[in-house]
Amino acid sequence: MVAVRRATVPFLLAGALLLTGCSDDVPAAPATLTTRTVTPATVTSTPAPPPVTSSSVAAPPPVAAGKVVVLDPGHNGGNGAHPAEINRQVPAGRGQTKPCNTTGTSTNAGYPEHAFTWDVAQRVGKALSGKGIRVVYTRQNDTGVGPCVDRRAAIGNEANADAVVSIHADGSTAAGATGFHVAYSSPPLNAAQGEPSTRLAQVVRDTLRTSGFSTSNYIGGNGLSARADLAGLNLSTRPAALVECGNMRNAAEAARMTSAEGRQQYASAIAAAIEAYLAS
């Protein structure tokens, strides 16, 4: 008997080594070799999303955005040359009348209140505008006349202001008189002159004080002054306060008011106070 030797035939299929099987002594028929072509898949790369940065995320609007603030810089540069116009009587509230406007005071060296209030108001307005607050001024320059005190109040009312702040400086000749105070209408003549106006006055007082300014030692109490004789406050139907930033006849305060740095300090404190009030 002749022995039949088994054969093992290697086949290469798609890169892999395949072995044919065998049974008993009969050689198996060769397997049919099937080939297939593998086409590499096309890989499409998807670009990664851009990194999120602070500039690509919309920041929420400031709390006070969209609010309206009326700034009333006291007096005007042309008032002194028009006495007849500024001395005419206008309504002052509570059944009273008073002169349309006045020239204001000045430092002993001649720096006028109207220039101080105009400069500070512009600085305050710039800071508020940068926070999305709409700012309205009662006068547009420091060379005009007026407007009269009743008209100044009307500007705040017509603007439907969320806050009206009148900026002034005092001219007391009392010995040692120094410090700021904030006036508000009292007794109130309408709802806006009640809690909203007293709260505005308190916030302005508190912010000026925490900003390093001293409260008045000669008028009002604890930096606040309830007034019934100020037309701009009496005639307002919006929350309103008047800040006397200090005494221009006091040497130390006069030096501060005369310097640009000092006026910026006043403006920064007043702007911060208004922002705090609007956010409260």
Q: Give CA–CA dist 255/109, Å, rounded.
A: 10
Task: For residue 138, give both structure tokens.
Answer: 């009662």
Q: Give CA–CA dist 160/142, Å, rounded.
A: 24
Q: What letter would DSSP give residue 112?
A: B
Alpha-helix runs per DSSP H in 52-194: 83-87, 113-129, 149-158
Do residues 247 and 253 lie in contact, with contact meaning Cβ atoms separated by under 8 Å? Answer: yes
Which residue is associated with the tokens 């900003």? 211
Q: Give CA–CA dist 197/186, Å, rounded.
A: 10
- Which residues are annotated as catalytic? 244
SS3 221: strand
